[in-house]
Structure 1
């Protein structure tokens, strides 16, 4: 399986910076953005708390078996990078 990586940057209203990658099959940016919102919500960051954000396609890569299993099961996989 190959996954597409969406480089995601979020600044909260409190000034907190979050940087993470959303890995999905396909190149649907709206879907990647929704998965980013869903993941942030599980960490207590709601849409109302977001001041600005960017979720854009970066590149494609072969998926590690653990990542492929997550993408198959829930539609996405998140790689936390900064502030997560």
Structure 2
């Protein structure tokens, strides 16, 4: 499955910069949808006070995902790759 990768940087509640990628099907390019997925993820890691805009989240590239991530995207609409300071 080809996916759109959205590179995301937000300031955590403790001031550290959190970096993660939001992956969606390649034809999903509406920022509002992507931002909602990002907010949902942030809430799941207790960072729900964060606002998400194009300042923090931008389309990066198209890529191919492994099968386990493809299943996540099919089931949830998105998948997250945690890069830095996500814990």
State if a TM-score over 0.5 links the two structures. yes
The list of structure 1 runs, each at least 4 consecutive aligned residues, that deviate by more than 4 angstroms after superposition, is: 49-53
More strand by share: 1
Superposition RMSD in Å = 1.9
Q: Residues 68 and 16 (structure 1 numbering): CA distance in 2 closer, same or farther, change over 3 Å? A: same
Partner of 1:23: 23
CA shift, 1:16, in A, is: 2.1
The aligned length equals 83
Residue 39 of structure 1: which of 38, 41, 46 is its match?
41
Partner of 2:14: 14
- Conserved in 2, the CA contact under 8 Å of 1:12 and 1:50? no
Q: Residues 82 and 19 (structure 1 numbering): CA distance in 2 closer, same or farther, change over 3 Å? A: same
CA distance in 2, matches of 1:77, 1:40: 13
**TM-score normalised according to structure 2 size:** 0.84
Structure 2: give runs of 5+ residues left out of the alignment. Answer: none
CA distance in 1, matches of 2:81, 2:71: 14
**TM-score normalised according to structure 1 size:** 0.87
CA distance in 1, matches of 2:70, 2:52: 32
CA distance in 2, matches of 1:51, 1:23: 15
